[in-house]
Structure formats: C-alpha cells, structure tokens
A and B are shown apart, each in its own frame.
Chain A
Amino acid sequence: MTGPRDLDAEALYSELLARVRPLVRPDSALVGIWSGGAWLAERLQRDLGLTGEHGVISSTLHRDDYAQRGLAATADPTRLPFEVQGRHILLVDDVLYTGRTIRAVINELYDFGRPASVTLVVLVDRGGRELPICAACSAARVELPAGQRLSLARDAEGRFSFEIR
C-alpha cells in the first residue's frame, strides 16, 4: 500500500504495460474510459504494438447519479472504431474507486453489441468499492480519504502525472 504523494504515474504506467501484456489476445480490443483511461489506452495501443485504433468510452449516458447531478457538460462521446460483437474487450481506466463508472460503461458497451469478454485493467486501485467489481490487474493500490479526488493528468509532451484534489 502506497500513499498518494509517492505516486509516480510514469513508473506505474510501465508497470501496467508489463501486467497488461499477458492479457492481450489476438482478437482483443482496447477501450479507454474518458478521459484518463482513454489516454492510457492510446499509449498502451502503441506500446503493445496493436494495429488499428483504440476505443474511447464515456459513462455519461448510463450514470446512476444523473438524477442528482444532471448531465455532465464535458465528456467526449463514446467512439468505438471496431465491432464490439464477439470481441475480447480490455477496459482501461486510470483510477478504480466505487466501481459505479465501470458499471455505467459496461452498459454503454453493450449498446454496441455483445462482447466475448470484458477485462478491467487500471493504473491505480484506491479501494472503496460499492459494487461487486474488481480489476484483473492494477499497477498500484493506494488509500485516500473519501472526499479526495485522484485522477490522471497528461502534459503537452504526453507525460502522465496525478492530480489530487
């Protein structure tokens, strides 16, 4: 278990890359959750030498807090430039917390077809699950107070860091 201040996003990315490699099958497709997960998927696609384009998925249309928070103004729409039907989907996110975003994007994914399997890989697992969801691999586990937000940031050169608010 690490504290949030010790997190080196670039080192963790290398760790994640090594752990994801054995999970990739010839018919796998990478889908990153907007926005941090999408940046990770874009880089993994390149570093794993996968052909084609990675997908980007948004939780906006299936969120369970719509009645409390309304419709988010910022998310990019889902863009899956391949057939979902019958594919082995590797779902990528930066931080796994309550699991509610994962529930929402799995629903979103199914609006495009029935995948053969969905495997979740995350950069950081911060615990605190509110749904029966777990990742196949994560590069680190951290503990944070419930009120704190941890998310991935990307600079102009494409280098990763963490934002803690």
Chain B
Amino acid sequence: MLERRNPQLNRHDELVHLLSIEGLPRGVLQHILDTAGTFLSVNEREVKKVPLLRGKSVFNLFFENSTRTRTTFEIAAKRLSADVINLDIARSSTSKGESLLDTIANLSAMHADMFVVRHSESGAPYLIAQHCAPHVHVVNAGDGRHAHPTQGLLDMYTIRHYKRDFTNLVVAVVGDIVHSRVARSDIHALTTLGVPEIRAVGPKTLVPGDLAEMGVRVCHDMAEGIRDADVIIMLRLQNERMSGAMLPSASEFFKTYGLTAEKLARAKPDAIVMHPGPINRGVEIDSSVADGHQSVILPQVTFGIAVRMAVMSIIAGNAP
C-alpha cells in the first residue's frame, strides 16, 4: 500500500506549503506561533524589514476578492524583503477562459517562488501545490468553505497572547459555522493545541450536526453557548445567507445570536471577543462590544502580519 503523506510536509516533517491546519502536528503550529512572536517585534523596529526572502518573488493570486487579507499578505512579504506581484485574477485571464493550471504554468515561467492563493473552490491551493515546481511554495489564503489556515493561526496567536495557555480554556465560536472556512481552521487548531472545550453556537441551519465528530459541543442557545467562555470568536454573517432561506432576517439573527454587552456578561469577566473581519455592526456584533475593552479585533489584524511573515519564512526555508 502506498504511504499517504501530508502534502504540506516534506520527508523531514517540515512545512513546505500551508494548505490547511488539519493534520499538522502541534509542534509545527507552536513553531509558527513562536516565530510570529519574533516578527511582531520586527514590526516595531526603526527598520521594519528583514532579508529572509530577498530576491524571491511572491505572487498574490486572489481569484476571490479580499482587500484585507491580500494587503496583510503583501505587507508581510514586503517586510521579509520579497518582491510582491498582485494579480487580480478575478478580472483577468480566467475571465478569458484560461484554466487554473495554465495560469499557474504561465506564472511559474515568470520564476515565481511562492503563491498565495485565495479561491472560491475548496481544494484549489492543493491542486496548485501538486502541479507547481518542487521549489515553489503555496499558502492557502482561503479556499471555498474548506480552510483559511493563516486566519486560524493568527486567531491562535491572539488567544495565546491574551490567555497564555490553551489547556484550560472554553472557546465559543458563534455564528455562520457551516459556510465558514475560518471556523473550520479555528476548530482544527484549537483541538490540536489542546483546548478542552470548544463550542459551536448558532441556529440549526448554520451549525452543522457533524461537528460533534470533531469534538465540538453544539449549542443552539446563545446564553448557554457563551456561558463562562474565556474566548468568543464571532463569525461574519454573509448577507447572501439571508436570501437562501437559512435565516429570517438580519435583525432577527442579531436578536438571538448577535453579541451584545448583556449577552457578553454571561462569559468570564476577562473573556476576549474576536472577529475575523469585516464586521457587520448590528448583525453579528453590537458596536459597544466591537469597540469595547474586551474586543481584540484590531490586535488580531496586527498579529496577522507577524503570523503571515512567520508562515512565509518557515516554508520558504524548507527544501522540498
């Protein structure tokens, strides 16, 4: 029988692509978080740049729009001294009918060293990783409903920054979990890092039943879901869900699952509130909570740059 290897790891179990948090050993996640700590201080120096990726070309391939994620990847690559090329693929070659692998072949001919890929199809970054040259590295910046591993890692960095230890935490993930690649990446990371209680909170239409198999406690009652939580991760409610008959209305959702100061009072007094952004004020989160003293939404963005620098510099340093 053929041995099935994790396609993200080389034969020394070192990370060469970041495609998903699922299946990565705890040591690899911890190495990324530790390294991100080093890069966080680089962002505060007089010279906010280190030469690790000097002479390398990083291609940002965003088949789906995302200003924030693309920008933080660009900043991260530039602070590592890479040359960054942004391709707005949604508006270029694919619209002329070029296939994904033909696009990759063409960009490889331009001597790309790393692809940062966002795609609406789950698995697209895997396909690219399988077909690009061995020295080329791939980072998944969000694929379909599948995974958003750098967001998952920056969420873990944020939790570790404020809570220090994962092994005594109650973490509630609230909202549209069924469509959320962030939720999936967070749950895999929290499990790997040893969080004893993970809760998925939301209406039946948005919280899949198979989550229990991932060791997650499903709660359809918000008050119960966030009671005594140390960490609350709110997810963005995508407007298009409203039309698909999955929810009655945004105001109805806010009434039941929107995070208000009153609901937040049921969590631990020192609980932190996270959100991957962009936030919908008055839909999944109240302004007083989003801007309140328990909110760590903006630090998440800052940590995101350091985490993406860590991921890129670790994978670029490992041989295939």
> CA separation between A58 and B52, bound complex, in Å?
14
Query: Does B46 contact A112, Cβ atoms closer than 8 Å?
Result: yes
Contact residue among A58, A62, A67, A73 (Cβ-Cβ distance under 8 Å from B34): A73
Query: Does A70 contact B14, Cβ atoms closer than 8 Å?
Result: yes
Which candidate, B102-110, B247-255, B312-320, is the interface stretch facing chain A?
B312-320
Query: Does A73 contact B31, Cβ atoms closer than 8 Å?
Result: yes
Which candidate, B35-43, B203-211, B212-220, B221-229, is the interface stretch facing chain A?
B35-43
Residue B51, interface by CB 8 Å: yes
Provide the residues of chain A in CB contact with B35, threshold 8 Å. 71, 73
Q: Which residue of A lies closest to B14 (CB)?
A: A70
Provide the residues of chain B in CB contact with A78, threshold 8 Å. 41
Q: Could you give, for residues 56-90 of chain A, a 1 whenever the CB lies within 8 Å of some chain B CB and a 0 otherwise?
A: 00101110001101110101011100000000000
Known contacts A78-B41, A79-B41, A111-B45; 12 further A-B pairs (Cβ under 8 A): A58-B38, A61-B50, A62-B51, A66-B52, A69-B317, A70-B314, A70-B318, A71-B317, A73-B35, A111-B46, A111-B49, A111-B50
A: number of interface residues (CB 8 Å): 19
Residue B47, interface by CB 8 Å: yes
Q: Could you give, for residues 14-58 of chain B, a 1 whenever the CB lies within 8 Å of some chain A CB and a 0 otherwise?
A: 100000000000000001001101100110011101111000000
> CA separation between A66 and B316, bound complex, in Å?
9
Q: Which residue of A lies closest to B41 (CB)?
A: A77
A79: shortest Cβ distance to chain B, in Å? Answer: 8
Provide the residues of chain A in CB contact with B45, threshold 8 Å. 111-112
Residue A128, interface by CB 8 Å: no
Provide the residues of chain B in CB contact with A113, threshold 8 Å. 46
B: number of interface residues (CB 8 Å): 20
Query: Does A61 contact B52, Cβ atoms closer than 8 Å?
Result: yes
Provide the residues of chain B in CB contact with A77, threshold 8 Å. 37-38, 41
Provide the residues of chain A in CB contact with B37, threshold 8 Å. 77
Interface centre among A58, A71, A73 (most CB of B within 10 A): A71
Query: Does B38 contact A67, Cβ atoms closer than 8 Å?
Result: no
Q: Which residue of B lies closest to A76 (CB)?
A: B38
> CA separation between A164 and B277, bound complex, in Å?
52
> CA separation between A112 and B48, bound complex, in Å?
9
Query: Does A110 contact B47, Cβ atoms closer than 8 Å?
Result: yes
Provide the residues of chain B in CB contact with A58, threshold 8 Å. 38
Question: Which residues 109-162 of A have a CB within 8 angstroms of B?
Answer: 110-113
Provide the residues of chain A in CB contact with B31, threshold 8 Å. 73
Provide the residues of chain A in CB contact with B42, threshold 8 Å. 61, 111
